[in-house]
Each structure stands twice: as structure tokens, then as C-alpha cells.
Amino acid sequence: MLEGAAQVVKTWGVIYTEHLLSRSIETIWLSNKSKEKSKLHFWEEWMAVKPDRWIRRKALEQKMIEPFTDRQVREGVISYGVSSYGYDIRVADEFRIFTNVNSTIVDPKHFDPKSFVEFKGDVCIIPPNSFALARSVEYFRIPRNVLTICLGKSTYARCGIIVNVTPFEPEWEGFVTLEISNTTPLPAKIYANEGLCQVIFFESDEDCEVSYKDKKGKYQAQSGIVLPRL
């Protein structure tokens, strides 16, 4: 296998060339026996991480994020607002805290709403080795050629508090349902109306064939904390 890998390195070359609207890769194959050259040419599509100025423009012109904070708010709070290549979203003061008092089985297809205790307040305390659902302060409207990923903030991660959010698909809109896990053996505080996680935006150079809106996704335009749906 190593000899074959070495042979591939010797007989294949890749040349990158810049174009005005996109980039192409031109692959040249060299035959060891005849020294003849044949060329294969194809286009490579790109998804670029978008910077603060793009996020600001989309938020102000297309209402991609509402309400939108045009700077990083950091003084005395867990930071939120636009950053260099992302947006730190806030968690609202509405929570659903998981409880096992009913001793039910967690079934994604038939989730029992009684497994949660509703809470509203400035500070939510998540029990040890448990989790809570919450929602974002911000309402998102994702463009058709954009996909996002969302990662928890390091301030919480360093305390053993993990935030899980699935990607925002093209043309999805709504408040974000946030899953917050306390992986520690101690109770953990979550501060409402402060930063919880960061959204990173990827823009493709062509639109998808079917967006989340086109397929009538089950979490489209969700307005609060939404439990699992089929």
C-alpha cells in the first residue's frame, strides 16, 4: 500500500487556478511509460465562512437575526453579539428542566412532556448529570444558500456545561431550541439573556435544490421551546 501511495504522488499533479467567479482544479496525469499527458478539468464548489460585515449586512437588510446586537457585549456578562466570524446568541429566560420523577423511558418518537418542569427566571439551575431545554432570544431567518453550525461558548464548556444545537438549514426560520447538558456531579447555573453559544455561517456559491422551507420542515417557524416531533 505504501508503494502504491508513493506511485500516486509521482504520477499525479494538481494545479490550482483562480477565476473571477469561482476556482477550478486542473488535474494532469503523467504516464510513466509513454510520457504522454492527458488533462481532466472540473469545477470545485466552495462554502466560505462569513465575516462580521456579512453577518451585519444580512441582519440589517434581510432580518437574518432579530434582535441583532452590532457588537460584542462583554462587560459583566457572558458575551453575546456579532464576533469576527460568527454571532454569539443569547438564551431566553424560559427553560424546561428534565426530571426523572416519573421514571419514564426517554423515547424520541414518543416523548413525554411530563419529563420536564417548566421554569422562568434570570438564573436556571440544572441538576447534576441532567439537562434543560431553552430557546434563543434571537429569531433567525437563514438564506437559501447558507448553512450554519452552532457551538457552545468556552465559558460554559470549561464548567462541564455542554450546549448542543443542530445546524440551521437553508431557509429555516424561528427561535432556536437549545439543549444544555450539565455533565458535572453538581448543580449548574445558566444565566438568562446572556451568551450561550456561537453560530457560524457558511455560504455556498450556488443554491440548494430543496431547502428546509421547500420540504416543509417540522421545526419551521417555531416560536418557543419545541419538544421532539415526528
- Catalytic positions, written as ranges: 179
Helix, coil or strand: residue 59: helix
Q: Which residues of 72-95 are buried (b: 16+ CB within 10 A; e: fewer)?
A: bbeeeebbbbbbeebbbbbbbbbb
Distance CA 173, CA 148 (A): 12
Q: Which residues of 120-142 are buried (b: 16+ CB within 10 A; e: fewer)?
A: eeeebebeeebbbbbbbbbbbbb
Q: Which residues contact 214 (CB under 8 A, 6 or more apart)?
A: 171
- Four-CA torsion 218, 153, 190, 93, nearest 10 degrees: -50
Q: Specify the DSSP element, H or E, that contains 132.
A: strand 130-141
